Amino acid sequence: MQNQLHLEQTIHRIQQMEQIFDKVQLAVTADPQFIHDDGSVKEMIHTLIQYYESGLWLMDYDCDARGQLPPDLKRGVLSQDGLYHFLCEINQYL
């Protein structure tokens, strides 16, 4: 029961981070200056940075590597270098 709850929380977190990741990518691709014009984009970027640096990203990545996530779960945010490189790329605009 505890493992199922943990897995559901992990899936929910990945879905949330995936949505944020997609929104930030769209905003930055459209206009990098948008980061400064819209405080919510900057807030979403900081959420992604916290996720990556907190260790939660690594736990979610490991869960995926063990095959514990549903195959139809969108998980671009877990690509091994995708989030890291994106955060490095947009750091120049912060």
* pLDDT for res 1: 59
Q: Which amino acid is at 2?
A: Q
SS3 for 79?
A: coil
Residue 23 domain boundaries:
2-91
For residue 81, the model assigns a pLDDT of: 87
Any idea what the Cα angle at residue 59 is, between residues 87 and 65, rounded to 5°? 95
Domains contained in the chain, number: 1
Which residue numbers in the chain have pLDDT < 50?
none
- Give the global pTM: 0.88
60, 8 contact by CB (below 8 A): no
Alpha-carbon gap, residue 89 to 46, rounded angstroms = 14
Provide the pLDDT for residue 63: 95
What pLDDT is recorded for position 35? 72
CA dist 42 and 84 (Å) reads: 16
